[in-house]
Amino acid sequence: MSTLCEQILGAPAGEYVDRPVDLAFAHDGTGVLTRETLREMGVDTIPHPERVRLIFDHIVPANTSITADLQKELREYACSSGIALSDVGGGICHQVMSEGVVRPGQIVVGADSHTCTLGAFGAFATGVGATDMAAIWASGSTWFRVPETVRVTLAGRLDGAAEPKDVALAYVGKLGMDGASYRALEFLGDGAAGISMAGRLTLCNMAVETGAKTGMFYADDVTLQYLAGYGVAAERQEPEECCAAASVAIDLDAVAPLVAVPHRVDTVRPVAEVAGTPLDQVFVGTCTNGRFEDLQRFARIVRGRQVAVRTIVVPASRSVLRQAAATGVLADIVEAGCMIAAPGCGPCLGAHSGVLGEGEVCLSTANRNFKNRMGVGGEIYLSSVATAAASALTGTITEPEGA
């Protein structure tokens, strides 16, 4: 009997395997080094361009002429080598790949650490560096050590105040920043069925913050229904009785709104404990919480009111933006006094559009609060969308209603 990783990679945990890769993507940041490495390797043609994607999301649109030149070169490279390019405004790589591209059972690699997000589809999805990516584009395959698995068993249902993000913060707090190093997280249990695809993507997104190679859900009715919306047919996956290296149990009913306080993602506290902390900026977006469901939740809370602090909202993709525009969600957010930025990573990586100044404090729905990540001397608290919305309205960290 095997874990989901073992089923997909076709070997027991601990073994090294060579496997063809179904999808391999890089973004404007890691794509540059991948391209350079291919040049050094002397590789001119990519044997399977249909499996490869380039997705511009990290600094979009370009912020300096240096960035613009690098993107121009990469754009030309995509065109000449037959690689599909998602250009500026298309969205964050993990979100774009989640919109009907990745399927259950696939092996997916991305030159970005949060590629684990896509394990939400029951795929083996993991991050690699640019050199590995170059070798994968050149050969179509790569090696993996089949990881041991940590089973995270979810029971019950989330109530009104807590969101999947709070569950993610809860397990990162429990496991710690290296609690699942080299391992895979599997989310299963009765509670899994009640979590939407968006919620699953949020949960798997933060797996790497525990050191895990990936985070995974078994494909079930929720997955199949979501994929059917994109015209993709897929099959269910069933968990087998087995052999996890460790297990963690989370009672969804008992999860309360949480925040990760600076500068570690595993120093997690109930929102109540840091309530009242003054904020300079609120940021809603990223591959963790920039989906339509997130924007909708945010809009529902701020509708008809005014934010008390500068608030930047960044849809995770063009399709999220389109949905937000079509449903009035976007108008509610703009009316509440928030700034909307182009779909992409936004200020998450501290390179543009919302960098923090010395001593400034930001409440963000992202996944990392490392020192200086959003700007030198800035402090980052991580929370759910509901906590971010409640806090935007008061200008200090505030518990969401119903907590």
Partner 1 sequence: MHGAGHAVCLGSDIDTDIIIAGRYLRTKNRSVWAEHIFEDLDPALAPRLAGAVILAGKNMGCGSSREQAVIALKEAGVAGIVAPSFARIFFRNAINVGLPVIEAEVPCREGASVRFDLDAGWVEVDGDRFPVRPLSPRMIEILRAGGLVDHWRSQR
What is the C-alpha to C-alpha distance for residues 397 and 103, in angstroms, rounded to an integer? 38
287 annotated as a binding-site residue: yes
CA distances from 11 to 17, 110, 148, 187, 211 (A): 7, 22, 11, 20, 22
362 annotated as a binding-site residue: no
196 interacts with, out of ligand SF4, partner 1, none, CB within 5 to 8 A per kind: none
243 annotated as a binding-site residue: no
Q: What is the DSSP string of 194-224?
A: GS-HHHHHHHHHGGGGGT-SEEEE---HHHH
What is the C-alpha to C-alpha distance for residues 374 and 174, in angstroms, rounded to an integer? 25
Check residue 320 for interaction with ligand SF4 (CB under 6 A).
Answer: no
In degrees and rounded to multiples of 5, residue 291 shows phi and psi of: -85, 170
Smaller CB distance to partner 1: residue 264 or 322?
Answer: 264
What are the structure tokens assigned to 350, written together?
């501290």
Nearest distance from C-beta of residue 251 to partner 1, angstroms: 28
**CA-wise closest residue to 18 among 119, 109, 130, 146:** 146
The interface with ligand SF4 within residues 49-68 (CB under 6 A) comprises 57-58
Smaller CB distance to ligand SF4: residue 57 or 163?
Answer: 57
**How many residues touch ligand SF4 (CB under 6 A)?**
12
Q: What is the DSSP string of 3-28?
A: -HHHHHHTS-TT-EEEEE-SEEEEEH
29 interacts with, out of ligand SF4, partner 1, none, CB within 5 to 8 A per kind: partner 1
Q: Which residues bind partner 1 (CB under 8 A)?
A: 16, 29-30, 32-33, 36-37, 40-42, 59, 64, 66-67, 70, 111-113, 127-132, 134-135, 138, 143, 145, 177-178, 181-182, 211, 213, 264, 349-351, 368, 370-373, 376
What are the structure tokens assigned to 318, written together?
């063009």
- Which range of residues in 157-165, 186-194, 299-307, 345-353 is near ligand SF4 by CB under 6 A? 345-353
Q: Write the interaction track for ligand SF4 spanning residues 80-99; mark x where CB under 6 A is met and - where it is not.
A: ------------x-------
* Residue from 55, 271, 324, 348 in contact with ligand SF4 (CB under 6 A): 348
DSSP 8-state code for residue 91:
B
